[in-house]
Every structure is written in C-alpha cells, then in structure tokens.
Structure 1
C-alpha cells in the first residue's frame, strides 16, 4: 500500500464527504449490536431493528437473553436474516456477559480482544473489527466490499487480497491514528454507496482524475444521435 496515495485518497474523500463522526450509537453495546445486525443489510434496516429493541426496552445483553427467541427475531426482523441474527446476537450477549461486560473487555489488549471476538459464533473479521474500531476505539481498519471495490478501481490493490493482508497494509500506513482509521472507513462506505457503486457514477467522483478505471469508462463521450 502506497502511503502517499492512501493519504491523498483519504484527504479527497474526507474533504468531500466528511466529517462523518461514525459509528451512530448511544453506547458501546449499541454499536456492538449494530455491527452484528448490519451483516448483509443496509444500515437503514439496522436502525429500524435497534429502534424496535429500544421501544421494547430490550437493548441490553440481559434483556436480549431474557427474550423468547421468536420475540427477539420479530424485533430485529427489519435487519433481515432475523432467525440467524437472533442466534448470533444471543451468542454474542452470552459471551459478553460471561467475560464481565464492557468494563472488563476494555482492559484487554487489542490482540486478545480481537481473538476472543472471533471465537464468538457469527462474528467474522469485519464484524470484529467494526466492534474494535467503533465500540472500543482500537487502531484497526475495517475491510469491506466498498474498500475492495474502491481500492481495486484506483489500482491500489488487486482486489482479491486476503482480509488480514489488506487490513495490515492499511494499518501499517495509518498506525495508531484511531480517528483517521474511523473516518477513512466511514468515507469509503459513503463513497461506495453514493458514487463508487457496482455501476459507478464516475462523473460525480472526486477521485476521477486519479482513477484508471473511471478514466477508462469515461474515455469516450456518448454518441450523438443521428438526425433523421
């Protein structure tokens, strides 16, 4: 990962989209729940599910575990795959309480905390890193589909690098700057949703001047219709 290029991309995206002040949530635990529920769905759906939990006064690990599985599933239904996510959320809450809660987990070093998060059923690398970065403010970078798409279109990566390799390459450049790691991931997600889509809106992209993919797609102007 070229350090100068990465920081240039960050500056352009941050100046255009930021500051975003991610992750939305009133508590560390709410961020953790959101990280689990956002798997394979849009954040707007997660917001509805979390609002349901709040209305039911169930946004706490003990309350989630006390709910009948069917009731929990209905509360988080807007997030999709609600039966699977209900099981994952219950597994996480059980683990969370067994470890002693946020106060105890906050005292763990990042490596240990990440390893233990990955041991929880349904918590993969992206979800674990969401929790580490946004709930515990640890210096990790979250790799997602938006990251791979943007970086590969810019020619910064091949796009098929292993998760851990890509994560480490970004962290090696940014180091322990948690606010920058936070904002970088946030602006990449927003840019990926609004501009650098599967069918990109290159004309709206602040990175077009340095994007070989975008320049290739926009090399030729639209054909002018012939007059009859």
Structure 2
C-alpha cells in the first residue's frame, strides 16, 4: 500500500487588504524609487522639521532649520537656551514663526524633561503611552506626533496625512472621509509593523499625491491606475 498522504497544515488566513496595500507600495516604489525621508542629520533635526513644516512647504522649513544650524542652535539644548522672540526670528522663513517658536520650545522642553534630550528612551518606551504624552504637548497634533515617532524615533506609526487618505480613499481602501485616526488604524492593522515600510510607503503616497492624485485627479500615467480596474476613482 502506498503511504497515506498528509495534507499540509493550513497557513495563516489571507488578508486581501494587506496584499493590495503591498502591491500599491511595490508599484509606487518601481515608479518613484526610494524617497529617503525624512531629511535631517539628527533625530532632533527631524523632529524640529516636522514641527516647522506645519502648514508650509518643506523648502520654507528647511530654510528655518538652516538658520538654526548656522547659529549652532539646532539641538535640544541649543533651542532651549533661546528665548521665544530670538527663536522666532531665526525660524521666520517657516511662516507663523511666533506660533511655531512656542511649539518647538514646548516640544524641546518636554524632550529634555522626559529623557534629557536623548532619543534612545523614545525608541524603547511603550508606544501608546509615549504617543499620548506627545499629543499632550501644546501645538502637536496627531500628524506631527506620528511624524516625530516614525521618522525621528523609528517607531511603527503610520503617518496617515491628507495625501495618504486621499490616495487610498480614491482607491476604495479607505472610506471617502476617513478621519486621520481611522485611516491610521486601518493601515497599521493591515500592514506589517515595520517602521522602514511605513516610512517609505508614506513618502511614496505623498509623491503620487503630488504628481497624480491632486484635488482634481490626473489618472493618466498614474502607477496605481491598474488598481482601479477600469473604474473611475472614488469621490472624496
């Protein structure tokens, strides 16, 4: 008699949303290449950039960072040593500079109080309580906090900004008017919990959002057109 054949044990259940998101990521990577976000020489510079780029173009935030660097103030202790007025003058290119000076000082004081300005503790701390603490810092909303956690501290938090929500809602991965937190929850639930993947995928969604998925979509030549299956993008 031939030996009885044994069926292979069942594998993990297939997650169609995960598979689809990863296909979108691969298509974007093939078109746009690695984005190498976030620009910055130190974690503190990355965090400062996340605050300074609020409601302005990155080029303006970069000019403000360059001014801080030129004065040797682009560090937690360097910023903490400045008064609000002096800091505001240096970061003037970022726009709304008085508001951003207060926000940057508030974050800097929190960082010095919480870890003495060191970043290693932020990489090890329980993520939920750490995120809640950062959200309590005046002027730091969810998108800024998550950018700091992902890009400066290397934590697996997806930055579900307006570009990401618009692209994925038009592709019917997200509901048309998904909130920031709802979108973040979907992405973190279905993607592997990998900071490098979150980093690159978010940056690529911004790239396709700027090139194709604008307020009025430009679908011709979009690397994600295959995913629509011939349908028009969903209204958002």
| Residue 14 of structure 1, CA deviation | 1.1
Offset of residue 171 of structure 1: 1.0
Distance 1:21 1:126, change over 3 A: same
Residue 176 of structure 1 and its aligned partner are, at CA, apart by 1.7
Relative distance call for 1:215 and 1:141 in structure 2 (3 A) is: closer
| Corresponding residue number in structure 1 for 2:210 | 193
Report if the CA contact (8 A) 1:208-1:214 is conserved: no
Greater share of residues in helix: 1
2:117 counterpart of 1:98 = no
Specify which of 140, 154, 158 is matched with residue 171 of structure 2.
154
**Within 5 A, what are the aligned runs for 1:96-135?**
96-100=111-115, 101=117, 102-135=119-152
Q: Distance in 2 between matches of 1:152 and 1:214?
A: 8
Match of 2:83 in 1: 68
Q: 165, 183, 188: which one pairs with 2:200?
A: 183
Q: Shift of the alpha carbon at 1:215? A: 9.9
1:204 is paired with a residue whose SS is coil
1:194 Cα offset (Å): 2.2
Verify: 1:36 aligned to 2:55, yes or no.
Answer: no
Aligned with 1:31: secondary structure?
Answer: helix
Q: With structure 2 as the length reference, what TM-score do the two structures score? A: 0.85
After superposition, the C-alpha distances for 1:48-105 in whole angstroms (9 at most, x for unaligned) are 1111110111101222122232221121112111111111001111111111222333
In 1, Cα distance between equivalents of 2:165 and 2:232: 14
- 1:10-49 to structure 2, matched below 5 A, reads 10-49=25-64
Which structure's CA Rg is the greater one? Answer: 2
Who is 2:8 aligned against?
A: none
Q: TM-score, normalised by structure 1?
A: 0.88
Structure 2 residue corresponding to 1:138, chosen from 155, 160, 166: 155
1:1-36 alpha-carbon deviations (Å, 9 max, x no partner): 822221111111111112112111101111110111
SS of the residue aligned with 1:39? Answer: coil
Of 58-67 and 27-36, more deviation after overlay is shown by 58-67
SS of the aligned residue for 2:232 comes to helix
Does the 8 A contact of 2:176 with 2:234 survive in 1?
no
Gaps of 5+ in 2: 1-15
For residues 189 and 64 of structure 2, what CA distance do their matches in structure 1 show?
Answer: 36
Alignment RMSD: 1.8
